[in-house]
Amino acid sequence: MSLNPSIPSGPLEAKWTKYCSEIKLVSPANKRKFEIIVVGTGLAGASASAALAELGYNVKTFCIQDSPRRAHSIAAQGGINAAKNYQGDGDSIWRLFYDTIKGGDFRAREANVYRLAELSVKIIDHCVAQGVPFAREYGGLLANRSFGGALVSRTFYARGQTGQQLLLGAYSAMLRQVKAGRVSLFPRREVLDIVLVKGQARGIVARNLVTGELESYAAHAVVLATGGYGNIYFLSTNGMNSNVSASFRAYKRGAFFGNPCFVQIHPTCIPVSGHYQSKLTLMSESLRNDGRVWVPKDPKDKRRPEDIPESDRDYFLERLYPSYGNLVPRDVASRATKAICDQGRGVGPTGYAVYLDLSDAIKRDGKEVIEKKYGNLFEMYERITGVSPYVSPMMIYPAVHYVMGGLWVDYNLMTTIKGLFSLGEANFSDHGANRLGASALMQGLADGYFIIPYTIGGYLASDSFPPVSPSQGEFEDSKKEVSEFIRRLLSVKGRRTVTDFHRSLGSIMWEYAGMERSDEGLRKAKGMVEELREEYWQNLLLTGGEREFNQNLSKALRVADYLEFAGLIIEDALTRRESCGCHFNVAYQTPEHEPLRDDQNCAYVAAWEYGGKERPPILHKEPLVFENVTPGIRSYK
Amino acid sequence: MNGTINLTLKVWRQPGPGQKGKFEIYQAKDINIHMSFLEMLDVVNEELILSGKDPIAFDHDCREGICGMCGAVVNGKAHGPKKGTTLCQLHMRHFRDGDTIVIEPFRSKAFPIIRDLVVDRSAFDEIIIAGGYISVNTGSAPDANSIPVPPQNAELAMDAAACIGCGACVAQCPNGSAMLFVASKVSHLALLPQGRPEAAKRVLSMTGRMKELGFGNCGNERECEAVCPKQISISHIARLNREFLKAGLFSRET
8 A C-beta contact, residue A555 and residue A407: no
- Band (pLDDT 50/70/90 cuts) for residue B252 is low
When the pLDDT of each residue in chain A is averaged and rounded to a whole number, the result is: 96
Q: Does B136 touch chain A (CB under 8 A)?
A: yes
Taking only the tens place, the pLDDT of each residue in A280-301 is 999 988 899 899 999 999 999 9
Q: Are A152 and A146 in contact (CB under 8 A)?
A: yes
Structure ipTM over 0.85, yes or no: yes
Question: Which DSSP letter does residue A537 get?
Answer: H
Residue A56's pLDDT is what?
98
Q: Is A517 a catalytic residue?
A: no
- For position B2, what pLDDT does the model report? 67
What pTM was computed for the model? 0.97
- Of A340, A347, A332, A331, the C-alpha closest to A393 is A347
Q: What local confidence, expressed as pLDDT, does residue A289 receive? A: 86
Per CATH, the homologous superfamily of domain B122-250 is: Alpha-helical ferredoxin (1.10.1060.10)
Helix (H) or strand (E) holding A444: helix A440-445
Residues of chain A neighbouring B144 (CB-CB closer than 8 A): 84, 124-125, 127-128, 134, 142
Cα separation values, A112 from A38, A45, A147, A264, A436, Å: 22, 19, 21, 20, 15
3-state secondary structure of A410: coil
Q: How far is the C-alpha of B64 from the C-alpha of A238, rounded, in Å?
A: 10
Portion 25-84 of B in contact with A at CB < 8 A = 32, 34-36, 38-39, 42-43, 46, 48-50, 52-55, 57, 59-69, 82, 84
Q: What residues of B are in contact with residue A277 (Cβ under 8 Å)?
A: 39
Q: What per-residue confidence (pLDDT) applies to A1?
A: 62
- The 8-class DSSP code of residue A449 comes to I
pLDDT digits (tens, 9 = 90+) for B38-83: 999 999 999 999 999 999 999 999 999 999 999 999 999 999 999 9
Confidence of residue A93 (pLDDT cuts 50, 70, 90): very high
Average pLDDT over residues A329-349: 94
Is residue B24 over pLDDT 60? yes
Specify whether the CB–CB gap between B165 and B124 falls below 8 A: yes
Q: What is the nearest CA distance from A636 to chain B, expressed in angstroms? A: 32
Instruction: Give rounded-to-5 percent helix, strand, coil for chain A.
Output: 40, 15, 40
Give the residue extent of every domain in chain B: 4-104, 122-250
- pLDDT: which is higher, A160 or B38: B38
| Chain B residues lying within 8 Å of A270, measured CB to CB | none
Say if the Cβ atoms of B114 and A210 lie within 8 Å. yes
Neighbours of A500 (CB within 10 A): 16
Q: If pLDDT is split at 50, 70 and 90, which confidence band does A592 have?
A: confident
Nearest to A133 among B93, B140, B188 (CB): B188
Of all residues in chain A, what percent carry a pLDDT higher than 70?
100
Which residue segments constitute the domains of chain A, with CATH numbers given?
12-76+159-262+402-462 (3.50.50.60), 266-400 (3.90.700.10), 476-604 (1.20.58.100)
Asked whether residue A121 carries a pLDDT value surpassing 90, the answer given is: yes
- Among candidate residues A89, A180, A88, A169, the one with its CA nearest the CA of residue A124: A169
Interface test with B, best of A128, A369, A492 (most B CBs within 10 A): A128
Inter-chain touch A241–B114, beta carbons under 8 Å: no
Quick check: A617 and A302 in contact, CB under 8 A? Answer: no
pLDDT for B254 beyond 70: no
Alpha carbons within 13 A on the beta-carbon side of A114 = 18
pLDDT tens-digit readout, A437-457:
999 999 999 999 999 999 999
Confidence (pLDDT) at A376: 84
How much is the pLDDT for A633? 85
Cβ of B151 within 8 Å of Cβ of A173? The answer is no
Work out the average pLDDT over A139-163.
Answer: 93
- Yes or no, beta carbons of B138 and A173 under 8 Å apart: yes
Which is more confident, B250 or A279? A279
Condensed to tens digits (0 to 9), the pLDDT of residues A310-326 reads 999 999 999 999 999 99
Band (A637; pLDDT cuts 50, 70, 90): confident
In this predicted structure, the answer to whether residue A606 has a pLDDT above a threshold of 90 is: yes
d(CA A244, CA A565): 8
Instruction: Answer whether residue A169 shows pLDDT above 70.
Output: yes
Instruction: Find how far residue A464's CA is from the centre of its chain.
Output: 33
Q: How far apart are CA A608 and CA A254, in angstroms?
A: 10
Average pLDDT of span B129-143: 97
Residue B251 in this model has a pLDDT that exceeds 90: no
State which residue of chain B sits closest to A53, comparing Cα positions. Answer: B137
pLDDT confidence of residue A635: 83
3-state secondary structure of A471: coil
- Is the pLDDT assigned to residue B253 strictly greater than 80? no
Pick the CATH number of B4-104 from 3.10.20.30, 3.60.40.10, 3.40.50.2020, 3.20.20.80: 3.10.20.30
| CA quadruple A156, A287, B35, A545: dihedral sign | positive
**Would you tell me how many other CB atoms lie within 10 Å of the CB of residue A364?**
11
Of the candidates A70, A109, A292, A330, the residue annotated as catalytic is A330
